[in-house]
Structure 1
Amino acid sequence: MTPKTREQQLDELLDRQAITELIMAYCNAADRHDHVKMRTLYHEDAIDDHGHFANGPAMDFIDRLPEIQAGMAILHHNVTTVNLKLDGDRAEGEVYILAFHKVKDQGDGYDVLIGGRYFDQYEKRGGVWKFSHRAIVADWAYPATPSAVRLDHPFLAGAHIGRPGPEDPSYAFFSLFKRGER
């Protein structure tokens, strides 16, 4: 195999960074319930397999997100290990995640921490990397009923408290990060 030129290595590094930023933007869009931003992350003909929530066109999944997320008091996606393989204008990724969910119910709600992976296929079209296929794989779940989340804990006294949607304090703090944008 012929060694890659420095230019090829730099191009690959830039592609890897763009895909990593795409993955992180997904987490932000999911946690902030930013469906406009979420739509910008997938190609129009992309597929999303989120198990019983949705399996088919990604745009259909995004259309259902307000309903799916309505019961979520807190969503918190954390990416850990990212394994990427690039091949020109297409790539594949196995992305490890920890996703915390505080679900509303009649009482204190309940928590579900999920350890899993995304199996991703990406394509660069018009110079922009987006998801062409994303599938969630659950490796484990850690439930807690009732919820163990306590926003009134003394460690949080005086802290800004994150929220799904446009009321999240990040929108008032940042001037460069905009709701609905990558």
Structure 2
Amino acid sequence: MADDELDELLDERAIRRVLHSYCRAIDRLDIELLRDCYWPEATDRHGPFTGTRDEYVAWVTALLRRHTMTMHQLGNILIDLDGDTAHAETYAVAYHSGEPPGDIRWNYVAGFRYIDTFGRRDGQWRIMNRVTAIEWTHAWDADRERLATFGEYLPRRDSTDPVYRRPA
């Protein structure tokens, strides 16, 4: 394998890591990890929201706190490298469950694509610009009572989630 091909594979791997880290950050409400997925001057257009990285982090954090659970799954990821810039299209599905104020249950699944421009600085890739193109949504029923029987392995939206418990 030529050095250029190896470099491209490593760059794609690093970009995929950012995409997967973003999903963990959203699903575990790891706000610092979320912020680290973007360059400070990055922009995000996400549904009704358009703004800077810090504005997006504040907006999505408030939104996510209304949920009891989210789960993001990534599908097809196509990355086009161009020096220290990369363009990525990522298909995804996300499940959301929560109970906002009032008597309405707020459970839905959405299919969408992240359309990202990444930038590399000092060997590190991060999001510079993101557009979330929502393709569809569908309401669903969440069975939180049954899930509560899972005990200590019940997913949590903070650092007590099982993913953060590493064996010695």
TM-score with structure 2 length normalisation? 0.90
1:161-180 → structure 2 map (5 Å cutoff): 161-171=154-164, 173-174=165-166
Report what 1:153 is aligned to: 146
Deviations 1:6-65 (A, max 9, x none): 00000000000000001000000000111111111101111111121x201112111233
Aligned-residue RMSD, C-alpha: 2.0
User: How many Å separate the matches in 2 of 1:62 and 1:45?
Assistant: 12
User: How many Å separate the matches in 2 of 1:15 and 1:175?
Assistant: 30
One of 6, 10, 19 as aligned partner of 2:6:
10
User: How many Å separate the matches in 1 of 2:132 and 2:98?
Assistant: 19
Report what 2:63 is aligned to: 68
Cα distance change of structure 1 residues 68 and 110 upon mapping to structure 2, 3 Å threshold: closer
Are 2:109 and 1:113 equivalent residues in the alignment? yes
User: How many Å separate the matches in 2 of 1:65 and 1:87?
Assistant: 30
1:40-119 → structure 2 map (5 Å cutoff): 40-52=36-48, 54-105=49-100, 106-107=102-103, 109-119=105-115
May I ask how many residue pairs the two structures share in their alignment? 166
Question: Runs in 1 of length 4+ with deviation above 6 angstroms?
Answer: none
User: How many Å separate the matches in 2 of 1:31 and 1:129?
Assistant: 21
Structure 2 unaligned regions, length at least 5: none
TM-score with structure 1 length normalisation? 0.84
Deviations 1:62-115 (A, max 9, x none): 123331112111111100110111111110011000011112134472311000
One of 32, 52, 68 as aligned partner of 1:36:
32
Please say if residues 47 and 134 of structure 2, whose CA atoms lie closer than 8 Å, have aligned partners that are also in contact. Answer: no
1:174, CA displacement in angstroms? Answer: 2.0
State the AA in 2 paired with 1:28: R
Percent identity between the two aligned chains: 27
User: How many Å separate the matches in 2 of 1:50 and 1:16?
Assistant: 23
From the two aligned structures, give the one with the greater helix fraction. 2
Cα distance change of structure 1 residues 51 and 108 upon mapping to structure 2, 3 Å threshold: closer
Residue 153 of structure 1 aligns to a residue whose secondary structure is helix
User: How many Å separate the matches in 2 of 1:40 and 1:175?
Assistant: 26
Please say if residues 101 and 111 of structure 1, whose CA atoms lie closer than 8 Å, have aligned partners that are also in contact. Answer: yes
